[in-house]
């Protein structure tokens, strides 16, 4: 275990995902969403396959006992990706990112409904508080600070994307019982690429050399970010590295201002702070029993410790 390395990899992954989102925002002005989904997924396979080949894990990536489970996960994940990209094309980068932070809170609700997980009271409190943050973030687009119908639609797309992202995480939890991480990532990227390619029947935009470069970069950055994210959990517990995923708010605010002149409203910042706070509270509260058990085990291993 190397906590600092795990944290560094998480921050780097979050930064690359933020760049990827900015590239999606740029190309979405002229390129259809389905075409962007294809590029994001297809070109992400190259760094993934390179890593798997280097580790000798290609066979593990294609081996599966539950192909239908991958299809379900792929379908939900593609819906999340399409909605995410549709939201990015319509609202500021930081706004879309902040709304996306609601996915972990939605996962709590879906886990209780579909996985029959026992959800403790503090989690429900965090979800309720997080919903208040959601209302604050959506208010500039749907309420008193109403801008345009297009922005309202973009906010709705981003919120729906968070819901489908939570659903994808639930399906991933089911798959991890029998499937390797390599297989889960490989089959999702492959299925998403096929789904994106299928939209060519409705007409694609023939990209200029610049647009083609941006589409390829979208996939490469996304693929490398996915690898770094996965690697971060090899070096540190999830409770240590997960909070640093919220650094995306910092990166997207900086990138959004630098590239698009966007400045998040105070309501969006306040709402994001509430949602992030709720998420961090859940992570902190979940970590307490783990730390208590570790301390008890350490005490028991010492001379004169409590009998086993």
56: left (phi over 0), alpha (psi -120 to 50) or beta: left
Local confidence pLDDT in tens for the 308 residues of the chain: 688 898 899 999 999 999 999 999 999 999 999 999 999 999 999 999 999 999 888 988 899 989 999 999 999 999 999 999 999 998 999 999 999 988 888 888 888 888 787 878 887 888 888 888 888 887 776 654 445 678 888 889 999 999 999 999 899 888 988 888 889 999 999 999 999 999 999 989 999 999 999 999 999 999 999 899 888 888 887 777 888 888 999 999 999 999 999 988 888 889 889 988 888 887 777 766 554 454 433 333 343 443 34
Prediction pTM value: 0.85
pLDDT for the residue numbered 300: 34
Contact 85, 28 (CB under 8 A): yes
pLDDT for the residue numbered 35: 96
CA pair distance 244, 126, nearest whole angstrom: 18
Q: Give the single-character DSSP code of 307.
A: P
Contact 286, 240 (CB under 8 A): no
Give me the helices (H) in the chain, please: 3-27, 33-42, 45-55, 58-62, 67-88, 93-100, 103-114, 121-142, 149-175, 181-198, 209-235, 238-241, 248-260, 266-301
CA pair distance 253, 67, nearest whole angstrom: 39
Q: Which tokens hold the place of 136?
A: 């604050």
């Amino acid at each position: 275990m190397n906590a600092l390395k795990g944290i560094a990899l998480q921050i780097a992954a979050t930064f690359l995902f933020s760049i990827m989102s900015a590239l999606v925002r740029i190309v979405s002005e002229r390129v259809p969403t389905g075409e962007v989904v294809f590029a994001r997924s297809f070109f992400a396979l190259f760094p993934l396959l390179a890593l798997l080949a280097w580790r000798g894990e290609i066979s593990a990536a294609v081996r599966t006992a539950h192909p239908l489970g991958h299809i379900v996960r792929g379908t939900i994940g593609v819906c999340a990706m399409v909605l995410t990209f549709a939201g990015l094309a319509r609202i500021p980068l930081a706004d879309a990112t902040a709304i996306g932070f609601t996915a972990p809170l939605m996962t709590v609700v879906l886990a209780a409904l579909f996985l029959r997980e026992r959800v403790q009271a503090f989690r429900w409190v965090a979800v309720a508080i997080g919903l208040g943050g959601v209302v604050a973030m959506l208010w500039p687009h749907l309420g008193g600070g109403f801008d345009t119908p297009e922005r309202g639609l973009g906010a709705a797309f981003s919120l729906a994307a968070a819901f489908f992202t939570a659903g994808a995480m639930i399906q991933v939890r089911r798959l991890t019982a029998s499937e390797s991480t390599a297989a889960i990532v490989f089959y999702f990227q492959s299925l998403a690429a096929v789904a994106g390619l299928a939209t060519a029947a409705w007409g694609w935009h023939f990209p200029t050399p610049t647009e083609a470069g941006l589409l390829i970069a979208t996939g490469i950055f996304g693929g490398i970010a996915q690898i770094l994210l996965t690697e971060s959990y090899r070096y540190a517990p999830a409770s240590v590295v997960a909070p640093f995923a919220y650094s995306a708010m910092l990166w997207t605010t900086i990138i959004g201002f630098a590239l698009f002149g966007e400045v998040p409203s105070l309501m969006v910042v306040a709402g994001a702070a509430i949602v992030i706070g709720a998420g961090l509270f859940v992570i902190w509260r979940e970590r307490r029993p783990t730390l208590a058990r570790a301390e008890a085990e350490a005490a028991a291993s010492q001379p004169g410790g409590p009998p086993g």
